[in-house]
Structure 1
Amino acid sequence: MSAALPRRTLWLPLLLHTGLSWSAETPDTDAVVLETVVVTDSGASPYAVRETSAATRLNLSPRDTPQSLTTFTRERIEDQNLQSLRDVLDNTTGVYSYSYDSERVVFSARGFTIDNTLYDGVPVAPGLNTGSSDASLDTALYERIEIVRGATGLMSGAGNPSAAINFVRKHADARTPEGMLTLTAASWNDLRTTADVSTPLSADGRVRARAVAVYQHRDSYMDLYENEKRVFYGVVDADLTPITRLSLGYDDQATRPQGNTWGSFPLFFSDGSRTHWRRSITTATRWSYWNNDTRTAFAELRHRFGNGWSLRSSVQRRETDGHSNLFYVYGYPDRDTGEGLFPYAYRSEDAGRQNTADAYLSAPFTWRGLQHEWLIGATGSWLRGDADEFAHGEMADTGNFYDWDGSYPEPMFERVGTDIQRNRTRQRAAYSALRLALAEPLKLIVGARATRYRAEQYYLYDGPETFQHDHDRITPYAGLIYDLGSQWSAFGSYTQIFKPQNLQQADGTYLDPLDGYSQEVGIKGAHFGGRLNTALTVFDTRQDHVGVSDVGRYVNDDPTRPAYRQADGTRTRGIEAEASGSPLHGWNLSLGVSHFRMQDGDGETIRRYVPRSLVRAFSSYTLPGDWQALTLGGNLNWQSASEVEAAQNVQGDVQTIRQGSVPLLGLMARYAFDAHWTLQVNGNNLLDRRYYVLDEYANLAYGAPANVAATLSYRF
C-alpha cells in the first residue's frame, strides 16, 4: 500500500472493546469455551443460509428478513464457476448488467443503477469510472455474497433504491492445516490458478491464518484483447479470549487488460443502413490498456459479553488506482470503402483513498416472555478521489475500417496531466434497529440512520465551480413479519435512501438529493427444516427530485451550462419470485423470476434498454449409490426483449435498435475421483446465441459466444 493505516484508527476497535468490556459480566473461569463458528456451516444446505444480517445488521433468518434477498454461498459460486462479481450478478434474481466497453460495467436492479457496495456490512465507494459496483472483483476472497434489493439506506447511507451488495470475507476458522488448489483451463486461452490455504499459528489453535491467491491470464473472443489478473488475500484471526476475536487482513487485486475497447463499434454506415460486424469486432489499438489496482487493509474486533450482548467494531483502508491509455473511433463509415471514421485518444490516471470506521452493539433481551433484539451503531467514512487527463498531439486518419488490426500509431501524450476530477466526501452516521416480538406470530422491525453528508466535488466538463454538498438526512426503516405457520411468513416493509446530485437550477442552486423509497409486501417460506428458502415479493420503488432539463434556461445565464429542474420522477413496480436450497438430499437449486414496469413522472416508459423480465435458474444433482461421485447440473438465464434509440446519421435522425429475448443455456458436470481430487466442466451459452448487450448511450457489445471451462481441484 502506498499509504499506511493511521495508527490511531487501528486502535479504535481495541479502545471500544476495552471501554465497553468493563461493564460486562465477568465469565466464570469454568465457563464453556465457545466453539469457532465456521461461516460455511451457517447454512442449512449448500445453497441456503440460516441467518443473514445483510438488510438490517440484525441476525435474521431469510424468512424473517422483510426485503428481497439473494445469497450466493461458496458452494454455489464454485458449482457455477463464478469468478467475478459480474458472473455473480448476471445470475442474480432481478439484476441486469450492461457495459460501455470491455472494462466499464454497470449493474441495475429494478431499473436503477446499483452503486451500494459493502464489505462485511461496511459501505465502500463505487467505481470511479461507472458509478456502479466494480464488476472485476474476484469471488475467491469471499465466503458468500449477499444482494439485498430495494432501498437500503439503513445499511448503505447514500445511494440508489436499487440493491446493495455485501461481500462476506473468508476467515481463518480451521484449527488444523487445510486448503484447496485449483487449475482452470477455459476457452480463448483462459488459464486460472487459485490457492486457498488455512493453518493454525499457535499450538492451541487460538491464532490462525488464511491466505488466498489467484493468477489468471486470458484472451478473448474479441480481437486483440487480453487480461492478466493477480489477487492476494491474507487474514489472521486471533482468539484473544474465549469470547473475544481480533481479525487483521489485507487484500490486493490487480487487473491488466490490454487491447481493451473504449466505447462501441459503428452501428450505421454513412448511408444510414445498419452495420453487421463479426462478434470479434474491436475498435481497440495494440497500445490500449486500462490497469486497475484495489488494495484493502482492515482490522476487526468481536466481543461477546456474558449477558449475551455483543460488540463488533472495524476499521478499513481502501485504495484504488487506475492508469489508462484509451482509444475509440466515431462516425459513420462508408459502406464500400470503410473510410470516414474519426479517432479519439485519451490517457488518464486516477486514485481513490477511503478510510472507514464502524462499531455497533447488539443487545438481545427478553420482555414479556418473548425474545427481542436492539442494535445501535455509528460509522464514519472519509473519501478522497482525484483524476488527471493528459493532452495529446495530432492523430492520423483511421483509414479503411475493414482492414482494422489495431496497429494505429499512438499519439504523443503530454507528460504532465490536467486536473479533471476531485472528490472529497465525508459521511458520518448513527444507526439503530429494533426487532420486537409483538406477539408469538408477529414481529416488528423498526430502524433509522441519521447521516451527515459533506462533499466537495469538481469535474472539469461540468463547469469551473466546485460542487458543495451539505446534507443531514434521516432514512427510516420499517418491516412487519407475520408467521402463517411452521413454514410460511407474510411480510411488508418500507425503506428509504438518498443520493446527492450535481445538477444546478437556473439560479445556480443545486437540486435536492434524489430520494428513493421502496415498499414491499410478500410471503416467504422455509421448508424441509430450513434447507429450502422461498420468497414471493411485490414491490413499488420510487425516486423523487429527479433532475430534468429546464428547456431554454441556463445556469446563471451561461449558455454553455443548461439548467435543470427537479421533479418527482421515476417509479418501478414489479414482482420477484425466488427459491434456493436443497429440497432433496443431493439436489441443490436456485430459481429466480422477476418482472417490472418503469415510468417517469409523466407516466412514460423509460430505460427500455433494461429488459423488463428475467429468469435466473441453476440446479445441480449428485447421483445416488454407485454414481455418487458424479454431479450433474445446468443453468438457464433468460431476458426479455429490450431496445434503445441511436443516432442514425450526422443529421441526428434516430433509429430504434431492438434486442429480442435472449436464452442462455449452461451445463456442468463434476466427478470426484476421491476425497481430494475433483474435475468439473462448465459450459456457457451452449446454444451459441448471438446477441447484443445494450446501454443507454447505444454502446452495443456482443455477448460471449459458446464457451467451456474445465477445473481440476485438490483439497487437503
Structure 2
Amino acid sequence: MPMQPTLRALAAAVALSLAGHALAAPLAIDLPAQPLAASLRQLGEAAGLTIAVDSSLVQGLQAPAVSGRLEPLEALSRLLSGSGLSYQQSGNTLVISRPSGDTMELGVTSINGVAPGAVTEGTGSYTSGSTSTATKLPLSIRETPQSISVMTRQRMDDQGLTQLLDVARQTPGLSINQSGNAGSDSSSIYSRGFAVENYQVDGEQRLDSNYNSIFQTSDMVIYDRVEILRGATGLLNGIGTPGATINLIRKRPTADLRSSVMFQGGSWDHYRGELDVGGPLNDEGTLRARVVGAYQENDSYIDRLHERKQVLYGIVEADLGADTLLTVGMDAQYHDADDHARSGRPLFNQDGSLADWSRSDSAAAAWAYSERHFVSAFASLEQRLNDDWSAKLSLSQGRFEYDEVIGYAAGGAPDPATGAGVSLWAGRWEAKPVQTGLDLSTTGAFDLFGQRHDAVIGYSRQHTQYRTTGYNLWWHDDWDSSVPNIYTWNGKDPARPDIKAVSRLDFDEEQSGAYASTRLRATDDLSLILGGRVSDWENTRKNDNFDPSLEDTVDKRSESGVFTPYAGVVYDIDEHWSVYASYTTIFKPQSAQTVTGSYLDPLEGKGYEVGGKAAFFDDQLNLGLALYQIEQDNLAVSIPGEFAPDGSQAYRAESGTKTRGFELELSGELAPGWQAMASFSRNLVQDADGNKLNTDIPQNTFKLFTTYELRGIGNGLTVGGGVNWQSEIYSNDMGPNRVRFTQDDYAVVDLMARYPITHQLSATLNLNNLLDEEYYTSTSSSYQGAPRNATLGLKYDF
C-alpha cells in the first residue's frame, strides 16, 4: 500500500469530514436566472466548495432560478437540469462534465477554489493538471514522457515575475547568461547546455529569423502560464534545437465578470500599474471579452539606465453555436530603454589584474538606446465534430519593430592609474519583421481492441518577411572610440559616430509541416505515444550593398521532406507512480557564421530520455526525475574575440558532442495552503574527446520557492521564500594575460509576504537578493546581478 505523508493524510481526512458536512448542511439559496457559470460560482462560494468545469461546457448555457433552503447537491442538480451536464464528487470538489466524459479541451477552469486543470489562473496552485506542449495531446504532466515545467499565474504573482527573463531565472532546468541590459541580444536563456531558440504562443511556433532574443523581454501580464518543455521538440516545432521550448499561454475571457487593478512601487523608482477586466458581454454569456493593460517605468541599479514598458491585450470569444467557438484578439508590447548597454565594462585591467567596478557602473554611452515594439493579431475557430472529435484552425500575424543604437565601453582594458585604455563598441541594428502563421489540427479519441486511444493530426505553416538596413558595426570612419577616463566617464564622450547605412538586407524564412501523434493504450497501465512530422524549410537572404565596388549577394538555403520521429512509452506502476522513456531526432539549419562568413552546416542529432514521475493528492502535487543524453554534430561553439564579416559573433562547428544530465523537480501543493516548487539540475556538455564545452553555463543548479498561508493570522497571511543556487562558471583566454576567469558558485535568497487587507484588497511585498550577494551574471564582462531590492504591490479585485 503506498505510503502517504502523515501531514497531508491528516489534512485530507479533515477536508473530507468538512466536505461531508458542507454537502449535507442546508443553505438559504436565492440564485436568479442567469448564466450557468455565474450560478455555479455563487453556489460554490456560499457552500465553501470547489466546483470545477471545462469553460467550453458552460458557454452559452443559462441556469434557472433556484431559491429556498436547500442542500448544496440538491441546488446543484437544479442548476444543471436540462443542461446535459452532470457532476462527480471528489472530496470537497465537484467536477462538472458531460455524461460521456468527452469534452472539447478548451481548458478546465475552476469556478471557485482550487482544482487542477489546464488553466492556472485562480487556482492558487504551483502546478497544472494538463499540458499539450510536448505532443499537442491534452496530457497531464505525469502522462507526458518528457520533462516539463509549468510556471503558473500564482507563482508569477507571488514573486512579481513580470518579464520572461524573470520567469526563466526561476524555472527548473533553465539558466541565463546575461552579459548586458535586457533589451538586446546579450541575455541568452539556456537549457541542457543549449541556447533556447524555440518559442511558442498558445502552441504556435515563432520563427527566430536571425533575432530570437526579441521574445525575451515579453511581459507576463497577458499570460495565464508558461509551459517549458525541456529536450528536443521537433514533433511540433519541426526545425529546432534540443534545449527547450518555451510556450506562453494567453489569458482567456472568464464566464463571469472579473476585474482587478494593481499598483506596484519599488527600488530605483520602479513603478508599475496593471488593469484586467473580463466577463460576458450579453445576458446569455455567449459573447465574452477580456482587456488587460500594463504600464511600467523604472530606473535601475545601473547608473543612467531608464526603461519604459507598455502592454495592451484584448480578446473576444463568441459561441457561434453549441459546438462552435470563435476567438479573435490582439496584443501590443513596447519596451524602450535609454542609456542601454549590450555588455558590462571590461573584466581586466591593463596589468592583468581584475578590474574593480561597482555594480552600478554603467558601460552605456549616453546616446545608446533600445526600442522593441511588437503588435500581433490572432484568431481561431474551434468546432466540435462529434462527441469524440474536434477541429481547430488558428491564424496569426505578428509585426515586430526594433531599433537599437549600440554604444558600450567594453573594448580594451583600463590603466588603473589614469583610467585610459577603454574604448566603445558602436553600431546599430533595426528591422521590422512580419510573421504570419497558420495551424490546422483535429484532435480526438477512438476505441480499438477494448481500449480508448487519443490522436491529433495537423498542418502548420509560418512565414517571416524581414526587411532591414545594414549598418556599419564596431568601426567607423573619422571617429575615435577612446574613452578619455573610464573612472570619471559620464557616457557622453566620445559622441555618437556617424553610423552609416551600408546595405539593404532582405530575409524570407518559411517553414511548413504535417504532423501526427497518438497515444495508444496497450493496457490500462501501458501507453505508447508515437508521432512524426515532415517539414519543409526555406531561408533566402539577399544583401544589396550601397557601395558599388562591393558585389551584391543572394544566399538561399532550403531543406525539404525532413522527417522528425517521436516515440515515447509510459508505464503506470500504481495509482501514483509511473516510468517513461522517449526518443526523437534533432535537425536545425543554422544562421551562425564562421570567420569567413560561411554558414555552419545544419545541426543534427538524437535525443534520449528516461525517467519516473508521480502525482499525488488529485494531481495537485507532481514529482519528476529525468535522465537524458543528447548526441549532436555541427554544434555551434563561439570563438571568443572573433567576428564574421558582417560583425556578428563567429563560430566553429563541433561534431561528436554529447550532453548528459539529470533533472529532479517537485511542484504543487504539499499540504493545504502550502505551495512549493523545488528542482535540481545537472548538465555536462563534452566534445568528441571528452573536453567540456559551454563552461560559461552552470553545470548544476538548485532552485526552491515555497509559500505557506497562516490562516490564523488576521485575514490570512501568506509568507514565502526561496533560494537559487548555481555552480561555478568560467571562460578561458580572458584579459591581456589570456587567463581563466571564474565566477564561483553562489546563491540568491528571496522572500515574500501577502496579506488580504479586505476581501478585495491585498498587499504583496517582495524582498529580492535578501543577503545582497555579489556575483557576475556571465564570464564575458563585468555585468553583475542586482543588489538587494524590494517591491510593494497593492491589488484590488472588483
TM-score, normalized by the shorter chain, greater than 0.5 = yes
Higher relative contact order (CA 8 A, sep 6+): 1
The 1:463/1:492 distance shift into structure 2, 3 A limit, reads: farther
User: Which has the higher mean CA deviation after the structures are superposed, 509-518 or 210-219?
Assistant: 509-518
* 1:620 aligned onto 2:734: no
CA–CA separation in structure 2 for the residues paired with 1:202 and 1:503: 53
Q: 1:478 aligns with which of 556, 561, 567?
A: 567
2:179 match: 100
Distance in 2, Cα, partners of 1:619 & 1:50: 19
Asked whether the equivalents of residues 146 and 230 of structure 2 are also in contact (C-alpha less than 8 Å), the reply is: yes
> Deviation of residue 348 (structure 1)?
3.0
Give deviations 1:473-523, integer Å, cap 9, x for gaps: 111111000000010000000122311025789999965421142211111
Matched, 1:304 2:387: no
Q: Answer with 75-84 or 494-503: which moved more.
A: 494-503
Superposed displacement of residue 192, structure 1:
0.4
Pairing partner for 1:676 from 760, 763, 774: 760
Count, aligned residues: 672
- TM-score by structure 1 length? 0.89
Matched, 1:220 2:272: no
Unaligned ranges ≥5, structure 1: 1-29
Label 1:613 to 1:706 Cα distance change in 2 as closer, same or farther (>3 A): same
Matched with 2:530 is 446
**C-alpha distance in structure 1 between counterparts of 2:162 and 2:333, whole Å:** 13
Structure 2 residue 493 is the aligned partner of structure 1 residue 413: no
Matched, 1:350 2:431: yes
Q: How does 1:118-267 map to 2 (within 5 A)?
A: 118-126=200-208, 128-129=210-211, 131-132=212-213, 134-175=215-256, 177-267=257-347
Contact 1:644 1:657 survives alignment (8 Å): yes
Q: Residues of 2 paired with 1:265 and 1:642: CA distance?
A: 19
Q: Structure 1 residue aligned with 2:730, among 643, 656, 659?
A: 643
Secondary structure at the counterpart of residue 522 of structure 2: strand
**Alpha carbons of structure 1 residues 508 and 84: separation in structure 2 relative to 1, 3 Å:** closer
Number of the residue aligned with 1:13: none
1:32 aligns with 2:84: yes
Q: 1:420 to 1:637 in 2, by over 3 A?
A: farther
1:43 corresponds to 2:142: no
Once residues 31 and 230 of structure 1 are traced to their aligned partners in structure 2, the CA distance between those partners, rounded to angstroms, is 42
Residue among 257, 282, 285 paired with 2:362: 282
> Which sections of structure 2, spanning at least 5 residues, go unmatched?
1-81, 86-97, 118-122
Contact 2:210 2:591 in 1 (8 A): no
The within-5 A match list for 1:6-21 is: none
Q: Encode CA deviations 1:401-432: one digit per residue, 9 max, x unaligned.
A: 11011222533536x73336432111110000
Q: Distance in 2 between matches of 1:548 and 1:183?
A: 44
Alignment of 1:412-431 (within 5 A): 413=498, 417-419=501-503, 421-431=505-515
Q: 1:463–1:699: structure 2 CA closer, same or farther, 3 Å change rule?
A: farther
TM-score (norm 2): 0.80
CA deviation after TM superposition for structure 1 residue 705, in Å: 0.4
Change (3 A) 1:620 1:160: same
- Is the contact between residue 209 and residue 464 of structure 2 (CA under 8 Å) also seen in structure 1? no
Helix, strand or coil at the partner of 1:701: coil
Structure 1 position 403 matched with structure 2 position 488: yes
Amino acid at match of 2:729: S
- Corresponding residue SS for 2:241: coil
* Greater CA drift, 396-405 or 416-425: 416-425
Contact conserved, 2:470 with 2:505, CA < 8 A, in 1?
Answer: no
Give the AA of the match of 1:322. Answer: Y
Kindly indicate whether the alpha-carbon contact (under 8 Å) linking 1:498 and 1:515 is maintained by their aligned counterparts in 2. yes
**Separation in 2, partners of 1:507, 1:691:** 36
| Alignment deviations for residues 416-475 of structure 1 (CA, whole Å, 9 cap, x no partner) | 733364321111100000110011110000001100011113579999643321112111
Separation in structure 1 between the aligned mates of residue 648 and residue 430 of structure 2, nearest angstrom: 26
Tell me: CA distance 1:539–1:412, structure 2 relative to 1, closer, same or farther (3 Å): closer
Q: Does 1:332 align with 2:413?
A: yes
CA distance in 1, matches of 2:422, 2:590: 35
The equivalent of 1:20 in structure 2 is: none
Shift of 1:658: 0.5
How far did residue 679 of structure 1 move? 0.4
- Displacement after TM superposition at 1:182 (Å): 0.4
* 1:578 CA drift (Å): 0.4
Which residue of the other structure, out of 617, 620, 628, is the alignment partner of 1:531? 620
Percent identical residues: 34
1:2-37 Cα distance to aligned partner (Å, 9 max, x none): xxxxxxxxxxxxxxxxxxxxxxxxxxxx77388996
Contact 1:39–1:143 (CA under 8 A) maintained in structure 2:
no
Other structure's SS at 1:287 match: coil
Equivalents in 2 of 1:80, 1:109: separation in Å? 22
Query: What is the aligned partner in structure 1 of residue 466 from structure 2?
Result: 385
Contact 1:629 1:673 in 2 (8 A): no
Q: Deviations over 1:25-66 (max 9, x none)?
A: xxxxx7738899665536266112111101000011111100
Is 2:138 aligned against 1:59? yes
Check the 8 A contact 1:454/1:470 in 2, yes or no: yes
> Shift of residue 549 of structure 1?
11
1:595 alignment partner in structure 2: 682
Q: 2:596 & 2:307 partners in 1: Cα distance?
A: 48
Give how far 1:326 is off: 1.8
How far apart, in 2, do the equivalents of 1:286 and 1:533 lie? 49
Distance 1:91 1:564 in 2: 29
Corresponding residue for residue 632 of structure 1 = 719
Instruction: Find the counterpart in structure 2 of residue 86 from structure 1.
Output: 165
